[in-house]
Structure 1
Amino acid sequence: MTRIDRKFATLKAEGKKAFVAYIMAGDPDHATSLALMKGLPDAGVDIIELGLPFTDPMADGPTIQLAGQRALDAGQTLEKTLEMARAFRAANDETPIVLMGYYNPIYNRGVERFLSDARAAGIDGLIVVDLPPEEDEELCIPAQEAGLNFIRLATPTTDDARLPRVLQNTSGFVYYVSITGITGAAEPRGADVAPDVARIKAQTDLPVVVGFGIRTAKMAQTMAGVSDGAVVGSAIVKQIEQGKSVRQVLAYVKDLAAGAHRG
C-alpha cells in the first residue's frame, strides 16, 4: 500500500472524507511555498498536490498559469521541487504528496531517473495531465512499477465508452473534474456531480475525489458529500497571488478542510 492507499483506508475507517489541497511549488518563492507546504497537514489537509511549474500549462486557468510563471521567475525547477518534497519528508512521513504537472519536465530529466528521484524524495503519486491512457507505456506503467500511484482525471465528457480506458491503469484515486473547461472556472453543483461520481464508482473500487471550482467550505462540504473527498487548488493559489501571509493562507485552508471533512 502507498501512503495514498493508507490515507484513504484510514479516512474510511474514521467515516471521514478526504481534503486534497494544491499549491504550486516555488510560488511566490521556494522558501514561502515550502513553509506553506509544511503547514498544510496541521490545517487539515489529507493529501498534498504539489504543482510542477511549466512554461506551457495548457489545461490550467489564469490563476494557476500565473502561479507557475511566478515560480519559474523565482527560479523554481524540477530539482528544487523534489528538494521541497525531501525537506517536507524530514518532518512528515505520513501525508501523501502527489506531483501534478506536465510531461515535458519529466521527459527532459529522463523517465527512469525521474521516477527514482521522485520515489527517493517521498513523492507518492503523479497526475500528468497531458499523457492520455494511450500513452500508458510512456510513464504510467513505469510509475506503477516504481511504486508510485498514477492518478487520472475523469470529466463530465468522459462517457461510458471511454471511462474503462481511463480507469484501466489508474491507482490511488480518481480525480473527477466537476466542470468542463479550465481550472478555477465555473462553480460546480452537487446535483450535477453526484450522478457522474456514482457512474465512476460503479466501475472502480478506487476513491473518487472532486475538484475544480471549489472556493468555500460549504462548496467543499457539498462536493465531499457526493464523493470521497474534495480538491481545492485555484482558490488557495489565489490567496497567495493576493499576497496573503502563510498564516492567512493556512487559516483559509483550515476552513476548507473542515468543510470537506463534514461532507
Structure 2
Amino acid sequence: MTRIDDTFARLKAEGKKAFVAYIMGGDPDVATSLAVMQGLPGAGVDIIELGMPFTDPMADGPTIQLAGQRALDGGMTMDKVLDMVRAFRKGDTKTPIVLMGYYNPIYARGVDRFLAEAVEAGIDGLIVVDLPPEEDSELCIPAQAAGINFIRLATPTTDDKRLPKVLQNTSGFVYYVSITGITGAAAAQAADVAPEVARIKAATDLPVIVGFGITTAENARDIAGIADGCVVGSAIVKEIGAGKPVDQVLARVADLAAGAHSA
C-alpha cells in the first residue's frame, strides 16, 4: 500500500471524492513554489501533482508551458525538484506526491538513479505522458518494483481495444483526460465525461480521476461527482503566473477543493 492507496481508502471510507492539485516545481521561483506546495494540504488538497519543468511539454497548453519556462529561467533543475519534495516531507509525511512530466530528463539522469532518489525524497507516483505502455520496461515496471505508482492517462480517443493495454501495469489511479487536446484548452463537461469514466471503471478497480478543463468550484463538483475525484492545474498555475501572493493562490485552491469535496 502506497500513500496514494491509503489516501483513496481513507476518502472512500469518508464518502469523499479526491481533489488533486497540480503546480509546476520552481514556478516562479523555488521559495514561492515550495510555500504554495506546503500550503496545499491545508487548503484541502488530497494529492499533490508536482510538475518537472521541461523544454518541450507536448501535452501542456500555454499556461503550463509558461510556468515551465519561468521555472527553467529561474534555474530549476531535477535536483531542485527533489529538494523541494525533501523540504515538504520534513513537515508532511502523509500527503501523496506525484511527479508529472516527460521522460527525457529522467532518461538523461538514468532510471535507476532517478528512482532511488525519488524514493529517498518521498515521491509516491509518476505520470510520464510520453511513455506509452509499449515502453513499460523503460520506467513503469522499474518504478513499480521500487514502490512508486505509475499512473497512466486515458483519453477520449482510448477505445475499447486500446484500454486494456493502457490499464496494464497502471497503479495508484487512472487519470482520465476529459478533452482532446492540451491542458487549459477547453472546459470539461460532466455529461460527456460520465460515460467514459463508467467505461474505464468497468475495466479496472483503480480509482478514476478526471483532469484537464476544470476551472471553477462548480466544475470541480460536477466532474468529481461522476468520478473518484478531479485534478486542477492550469487554473491554479494561472494564479501563480499572475503574481498573486501565496495566501491568495491557496484561497483559490481551497475554493476548488471545496467544490470537489462537495460532490
The answer to whether the aligner puts 1:236 opposite 2:236 as a matched pair is yes
Counterpart residue identity of residue 17, structure 1: K
Question: What residue number does 1:59 align with?
Answer: 59
Deviation at 1:92, TM superposition (A): 0.2
Q: Secondary structure at the match of 1:253?
A: helix
Counterpart residue identity of residue 22, structure 1: Y
Consecutive unaligned residues of structure 1, counting only runs of 5 or more, are: none
Please, what TM-score do these two structures have when normalized by structure 2?
Answer: 1.00
Counterpart residue identity of residue 165, structure 2: R
The answer to whether the aligner puts 1:202 opposite 2:202 as a matched pair is yes
The answer to whether the aligner puts 1:219 opposite 2:226 as a matched pair is no
Q: Secondary structure at the match of 1:58?
A: coil
Deviation at 1:234, TM superposition (A): 0.6
Distance 2:111 2:188 in 1: 35
Counterpart residue identity of residue 132, structure 1: P
Q: Deviations over 1:215-254 (max 9, x none)?
A: 1000000000000001000110001111111000000000
Distance 1:59 1:168 in 2: 22
Question: What residue number does 1:92 align with?
Answer: 92
The answer to whether the aligner puts 1:105 opposite 2:105 as a matched pair is yes
Distance 1:188 1:84 in 2: 31
Task: Give aligned pairs, total.
Answer: 263
Distance 2:261 2:169 in 1: 28
The answer to whether the aligner puts 1:155 opposite 2:155 as a matched pair is yes
Question: What residue number does 1:192 align with?
Answer: 192
The answer to whether the aligner puts 1:175 opposite 2:178 as a matched pair is no
Distance 2:84 2:96 in 1: 13
Deviation at 1:58, TM superposition (A): 1.0
Deviation at 1:59, TM superposition (A): 1.1
The answer to whether the aligner puts 1:262 opposite 2:230 as a matched pair is no
Counterpart residue identity of residue 205, structure 2: D
Q: Deviations over 1:45-98 (max 9, x none)?
A: 000000000011111100000000000000000000000000000010000000
Distance 2:226 2:152 in 1: 19
Distance 1:189 1:30 in 2: 34
Question: What residue number does 2:27 align with?
Answer: 27
Question: What residue number does 1:129 align with?
Answer: 129
Deviation at 1:188, TM superposition (A): 1.1
Distance 2:109 2:224 in 1: 36
Distance 2:243 2:156 in 1: 34
Q: Deviations over 1:132-160 (max 9, x none)?
A: 00000000000000000000000000000
The answer to whether the aligner puts 1:253 opposite 2:253 as a matched pair is yes
Deviation at 1:16, TM superposition (A): 0.1
Q: Deviations over 1:155-191 (max 9, x none)?
A: 0000000000000110000000000000011111111
Distance 1:241 1:87 in 2: 23
Deviation at 1:22, TM superposition (A): 0.1
Counterpart residue identity of residue 57, structure 1: P
Question: What residue number does 2:73 align with?
Answer: 73
Counterpart residue identity of residue 63, structure 2: T
Question: What residue number does 2:17 align with?
Answer: 17
Please, what TM-score do these two structures have when normalized by structure 1?
Answer: 1.00
Distance 1:59 1:230 in 2: 18
Counterpart residue identity of residue 157, structure 1: T
Question: What residue number does 1:144 align with?
Answer: 144
